[in-house]
Chains A and B, each alone.
Chain A
Amino acid sequence: MTALGKAEFGVQTFFAASYPNDKCGANGLPLTPNSIKILGRFQVLKTYEHPNICKYLDIVRTKHERLIVVSEYYKDNLQNKVKTDHFHSEKKVIELAFEILKGLTYVQSKNLTHRNISLDNILLTQKNEVKLSEYGLYHMTDEGADVSFPIGKAKYMAPEVFCCGPVVVDENCEKGISPPSGPKADCWSLGIVLLEVLLVSNMFVKKPDSMISKVLIFFLEKDPLEFLAKDCGFEDKLQNISVELLSFIKWCLTKSPSKRPSCQQLKHHSIFTVLNSQEVPYKNGYKILSVKPRSLDLELPVLDQLSVLDPDHLSQRSMEEVYYLWRLAGGELESILKKAGLIKSHPPITLLPLLCGCEGEVSGHIRDQGELLDQTKVVLSQDQLRNRLQDIEEKAYYPLLEDDNLGLPTSPSSGDLSDTASLPLVIKERDIEYQFHRIILYERLLKAYPYKRPYIWKEARLDIPPLVRAHVWAALLEVEGDIDGEYDNIDKETPTTTDRQIEVDIPRCHQYHQLLSSPTAHYKFKRVLKAWVVSHSHYVYWQGLDSLCAPFLALNFNHEALAYACLKAFIPKYLHNFFLKDNSAVIQEYLAVFSHLITFHDAELGNHLDGIGFIPDLYAIPWFLTMYAHVFPLHKVLHLWDTLLLGNSSFPLCIGVAILQQLRARLLSYGFNECILLFSDMPEISIEQCVQDSIRIFCSTPKSATYRQHARPMKKVNDMRPNLSYYSRDYNEQPQTELSMEAISIEDLKSEKCPRISAEDLIELGELAGPRHTKSPTKKKQSGKPMILVIDVRSIEEFKRGNVPGSINIPFQTAFSPEGDLSPCQSVTTLNSCKSLVKVIVGNRGRNASNFANELVRLGYSRVCVLHKGIDILRSTGLIIVPPADF
């Protein structure tokens, strides 16, 4: 983590090269825009952190191939500092060179070539520490192939860079024709930079042509330095430079790249002997989900009377956090650039071509001069952010986790933040103060993961801030262990039979998403998917796995191993055995239970869909196979899964019911064809509503009603979470007793319209074994567990011999009139007065109970279920009582 410190945020903008109008890819498909390619390649730069480089923070793509890059920035740079006489002593220059080399060595250790070193790209902090900037431009633009401007300033370019000429893009592979510049080009640039610092003058004039021809003459000269000295007239000044330093610069300016030293070698030059011995190796703090001892480098700060805490608490936060808050505080990149005059383009009506051919070739248009590269950087002012946060107490920056009823602090400006907590998620995500408290809390909790997992779980029920979502999800999925090591050891290269399918599916998966449509994303996509397929040999690749992978990859774009680990944990939890080669039994059962659930919650809708033959097999398979990731756009999937991950394996069924509920009015009015059409292109669904509805549906469903024999069997290890509430444990993970549900054949499932519930569920819901204290699974108070009404459908005689306490008796034989209505009687009156209760039908063995239930459904009664195995199952419990004779 790089703390903000005194850093500013700098923003700059440039255009990606746009293709000619008539160009299309080899396969006839539209080409991936260069801006998208850059966006993908940029991402990895965000992970690079070192004291001598500026951190990259963000890239934004706007209209017409414009890109906006945000990075750490300082107003001072070598260009303007050189003139202030700061580097008049050689000692300072050597220190400077050493710092630059440290930065360069780090950058090159990541396999990057800077290629863009110049006086104004070497920034200086207030304490005159060196911060290299712009080192990522060469990398993100695919070695210059994705932009039309040359990268780097001409005068700092190494001879081999010159000789390659400007990048020429190969028409077919869209890569540069000549090989990329190697890291040694940077050593040459360093030499020129140091020379300029020592001589306090710029080497060449600004105009490029005169100097380029000069540099080419280098080849005729034996010694580039001598030539330069003569040419620029500073031979006499060279006399004043010590021999050692001069030899260093000469070394840098070695013409031949194979003889030129690398940065590593330069760093061990004799002028740095002292500095090398003093160097403290850079340690990059704590990394989440790593198996390395996390306290290895721990040094507790010494706090005594003398040390004064920095009152600027914000500067102690990481740059990502501050930038995240900055944007919430109303930071608008485009408008800032506009104000600075950096987004200036001609009105489009003046740029139109005159003529356009049938194949898209255009002529008679002019180049928009506003698209030229302007390297000016604009500082993003942090004033607005600091103003917004000024009323926050110091304590809020360091919340204590051991406090049990921590909750949200109150803030003087916006009152009680727990009020905010109950607002819709989209509003909370834009509330800067709320997000401030949440990200600080989560950051601390995640550092204490896995010890603090229950706490994270509890907070996740409130909401998950976008900034920390990736790691919170990993925590919810209980990802632990050496995930990097495991992922590294999976063979993702060797071709397999599924490669072809994967390659076909990826370019169709969430491609409206800028990041996921980039070639970098496709590459990573393929690796994660292959890794999963290879290491789960008992499963196969089903289409849909790509959609499942998409949210994890988008969140963990720079950490494939974590994306893989999350996917690996997610699938058994929610999609146990869905990826078997023959998954029909699993899916059939799942869909049958889904049917039951629809009917259970909305008999009218269930009857209608049944009536027109619009069965879940026709529309719901992609819903469940991808856990809705194929159905919704990614930003909605993220919100949905925030809740889904807290639920058990039955929760997805409730989401399905909730979606149908939102479309209820239309579905009821539609016939079969219209329904098919409706779902062939999923209409807009309000996710907030869907999430609320599915929680409500989940809470009003007896948990054994969603029992599936193919669900994941009980885990051996004991759950760390206590069984606090009725719902907190998946039914399939409860210990089995003779009162539990048992496997039912798929034919039976399909023939019944209502779910069955187990005897233990009946006992628990009916509180037959005495009241039990339970908590609701949600924070809401009104919904505990469902209330039930037991309906006994045996004959009056049997009923009188013994029944479930509180049950009413409607004998099946006499229940229905010839017209099919319920014959009125006292019990039916009771039933009608308790329509909203869950009705448990109890019968003998045989089909009377389920037939009765089917009839009730036909009559439009919702919330009907059947006691599995009927009254007999209760005989052994001693709960059956004989009613008073006068009843």
Chain B
Amino acid sequence: METEFVFEFKCKGLKSKLTVPVNIPVKEPVEELVGRLVKAKNLPAYVVEDLQKDLCKFVEVKTAEWNEKNGEEAIKAVFDNKIDENILIDKWNKAFTQEVKTYAKPEEVTNEQMFSEVYHSLIHSPALETVLNLEHTYALSVEDIITNRDADLNHLDSKQQEEMEEALNNVGIKYNDEDINQLAQRHFDNTQLISSKWASELSNLKETQKREFKEWVMKVHEDSQNNSIPPTYLLRAMSSALPDAEDEERQSQPTRLEESFTIHLGAQMKTTHNIRLLCTDVLDLCRHKTHTVGGIAIPQPQRLQTAMSLYSNSLCGLVILVDNRVNNYTGMKRAFSKVCEQSTDFHFPDLDHRYSMLEQEVIKMNELRRKKKEEDDMSIKSNGSNINTGDFYITEHSNLSEIHVVFHLVCDDSVRASDISSRHPAILSLRNIIKLCFRYDIHTITIPLLLTHEMTEEMTIPWCMKRAELIYKCVKGFMIEMATYGAQESRTIQFLVPRGLSEDMFNNISNMLPTIFRLSNPVIHRTGP
């Protein structure tokens, strides 16, 4: 609000009048306004005190008037029914009930929440080993079924193949085309029947396991609360002394090619992070390797780590690249779902369930997008239930080896081009993924460095080097961006390159890293002064 301040004073017998525009509310202190006035209008020193007093009073009065005017206008708007009372009341109620705890509906503790809390406390108690062993036993029986299923299906497959070959060889003699078709149809039906039989057996087993496990966890928790029996009681029953390891088991698993770096980010304030370059199959990070001691399978040590941090504030994430269909029939998705199927996920719904939830969200999001774009321009095609390149969906897992959260990043063939830029949707998504990592305490994230899971022929040396450089630089930029405003936590980024990359290439990519990321100070042993 613009007002006019008038000040009168006497100078050498002359009356002077000063008129200045003043904006209400005043942002700067009145003293400074006076200082500026005196300088600008060259006022004599003896009026300063009066001017200050007058101006103070003036600002005070005018500010009060301004506030009163605002208040009156607000009341009038409601009084004149310009604002609907009921809407206003509704807004206030929402504000209070949705944001203030005392007015909000008390939160209902769901079974899942209860379970997660109990599980978290149990896994950090002496019962830890028992829990893991139980999970492991369950996993073994799932594995059993899967092995049987696969054998059964293989057997069926080979039998059918024989039949088909036999039939084909005798086309025109014993069989006609119609017969072949019927045979094929019968084969297909059989396969369907057998696999659905196995599928239902598997899902039944998983359901049972899930229920049993939950009940067991809750019971152990109750018991430990009642303190009647120490929670380790089951442990004794289950883990008998292990036999000695056999020689071949002592040999460590084939090591994956990897190199670690400690880096600093930031110009003045430095944050320390870890970077690891890995050459392995992406699913190796998910798959449980059979780990046997004396011929008895025992849980892998990584499993422990993953279980303990499942409900913590330090999660591990993985980015995998998928196509734009929401199912698990092909390629990477099929391989991934196989790994997930290996054991029961006691905490999160299975993939199929996820996909059905996802489909709804995709439709919702596409609808929203369409609306948003329509505002900008009208010529937009709606793409229904398809996911766009650069979108990603997120699944949580409790039964993978080193991973809690998987980001399924939707990519098309454009990532195979040698000249993708930092504005490519896949790269923008990496930014969003890293952003979510910061938001949701995912402290370790694994990113396919070349934006591919396997080596193909267009991936020449220059192609790989260029791609590696691009991703390094972009990820560095995103990390710096997210770490602004004082996020000091240290994080781990794992860059994954596909198996099959030559050792030389790996070394080249590894040598490039220190030229882009600043390594932290080497430790120097100082001798003498």
Q: Is B31 an interface residue (CB 8 A)?
A: yes
Q: Check B96 against A356 for contact (C-beta < 8 Å).
A: no
Give the residue name and chain of the A residue nearest to B311 (CB): A347
Q: Check B96 against A512 for contact (C-beta < 8 Å).
A: no
Q: Is A388 an interface residue (CB 8 A)?
A: no
Could you jot down 16 A-B contacts, CB within 8 Å? A30-B481, A149-B95, A149-B99, A149-B100, A163-B83, A178-B74, A182-B66, A182-B71, A256-B72, A258-B68, A352-B436, A353-B394, A354-B394, A357-B365, A511-B484, A634-B268
Give the residue name and chain of the A residue nearest to B271 (CB): A512
Residues of A within 8 A of B98 (CB): 372
Give the residue name and chain of the B residue nearest to A494 (CB): B36
Given contacts A163-B78, A512-B269, contact A356 B394 (CB under 8 A): yes
B-contact bits for A683-699, CB 8 A (1 contact / 0 none)? 11000000000000000
Q: Check A150 against B31 for contact (C-beta < 8 Å).
A: no
A-contact bits for B80-117, CB 8 A (1 contact / 0 none)? 00010100110111111111111110010000110010
Residues of B within 8 A of A360 (CB): 431-432, 435
Q: Is B41 an interface residue (CB 8 A)?
A: no
Number of interface residues of B (CB under 8 A): 101
Residues 222-242 (chain B) with a chain A CB within 8 angstroms: none
Residues of B within 8 A of A734 (CB): none
The A interface, classified by DSSP as helix, strand, loop or mixed, is loop
Q: Is A183 an interface residue (CB 8 A)?
A: yes
Minimum distance in angstroms from A782 CB to a CB of chain B = 13
Q: Check B70 against A179 for contact (C-beta < 8 Å).
A: yes
Minimum distance in angstroms from A22 CB to a CB of chain B = 8
Inter-chain CA distance A533–B81, complex, in Å, is 54
Give the residue name and chain of the B residue nearest to A373 (CB): B100
Q: Which of B63, B391, B396 contacts A357 (CB 8 A)?
A: B391
Seed contacts A352-B396, A491-B35; 19 additional CB < 8 Å A-B pairs: A163-B77, A165-B91, A181-B67, A182-B67, A184-B71, A258-B68, A348-B441, A349-B396, A349-B440, A352-B436, A354-B394, A372-B100, A372-B104, A374-B101, A488-B35, A510-B268, A511-B485, A517-B485, A630-B268
Q: Is A631 an interface residue (CB 8 A)?
A: yes
Residues of A within 8 A of B518 (CB): 681, 683
Q: Check A208 against B36 for contact (C-beta < 8 Å).
A: no
Residues of A within 8 A of B139 (CB): none
Q: Is B266 an interface residue (CB 8 A)?
A: yes
Q: Is B279 an interface residue (CB 8 A)?
A: no
Number of A-B contacts (CB under 8 A): 262
Residues of B within 8 A of A353 (CB): 394, 436
Q: Check B268 against A631 for contact (C-beta < 8 Å).
A: yes
Residues of A within 8 A of B66 (CB): 182
Q: Is B39 an interface residue (CB 8 A)?
A: yes
Residues of A within 8 A of B102 (CB): 206, 374-375
Interface residues on A, range: 35 or more
Given contacts A219-B79, A684-B270, contact A488 B32 (CB under 8 A): yes
Residues of B within 8 A of A36 (CB): 485
Inter-chain CA distance A369–B70, complex, in Å, is 35
Residues of B within 8 A of A257 (CB): 67-68, 71-72, 75
Inter-chain CA distance A832–B311, complex, in Å, is 68
Q: Which of B29, B431, B485 contacts A33 (CB 8 A)?
A: B485
Q: Check B440 against A358 for contact (C-beta < 8 Å).
A: no
Inter-chain CA distance A350–B78, complex, in Å, is 43
Q: Is A242 an interface residue (CB 8 A)?
A: no
Q: Check B101 against A373 for contact (C-beta < 8 Å).
A: yes
Q: Is B370 an interface residue (CB 8 A)?
A: no
Inter-chain CA distance A372–B103, complex, in Å, is 10
Q: Is A304 an interface residue (CB 8 A)?
A: no
Q: Which of B70, B116, B268 contacts A182 (CB 8 A)?
A: B70
Q: Is B428 an interface residue (CB 8 A)?
A: yes
Q: Is A421 an interface residue (CB 8 A)?
A: no
Given contacts A355-B394, A373-B100, contact A61 B89 (CB under 8 A): no
Inter-chain CA distance A87–B103, complex, in Å, is 29
Inter-chain CA distance A213–B75, complex, in Å, is 15
Q: Check A258 against B71 for contact (C-beta < 8 Å).
A: yes
Inter-chain CA distance A493–B436, complex, in Å, is 41
Selecting from B186-194, B296-304, B355-363, B374-382, the interface stretch reads B355-363
Given contacts A212-B93, A349-B404, contact A372 B71 (CB under 8 A): no
Q: Is B393 an interface residue (CB 8 A)?
A: yes
Residues of B within 8 A of A347 (CB): 116, 120, 310-313
Residues of A within 8 A of B94 (CB): 166
Q: Check B310 against A349 for contact (C-beta < 8 Å).
A: yes
Q: Check B38 against A489 for contact (C-beta < 8 Å).
A: yes
Q: Is B368 an interface residue (CB 8 A)?
A: yes
Residues 351-402 (chain B) with a chain A CB within 8 angstroms: 357-358, 361-362, 364-365, 368-369, 387-394, 396
Q: Which of A164, A356, A491 contacts B432 (CB 8 A)?
A: A356
Q: Check B92 against A166 for contact (C-beta < 8 Å).
A: yes
Q: Check A369 against B104 for contact (C-beta < 8 Å).
A: yes
Q: Is B264 an interface residue (CB 8 A)?
A: yes
Q: Check A163 against B74 for contact (C-beta < 8 Å).
A: yes
Minimum distance in angstroms from A499 CB to a CB of chain B = 16
Give the residue name and chain of the A residue nearest to B270 (CB): A684
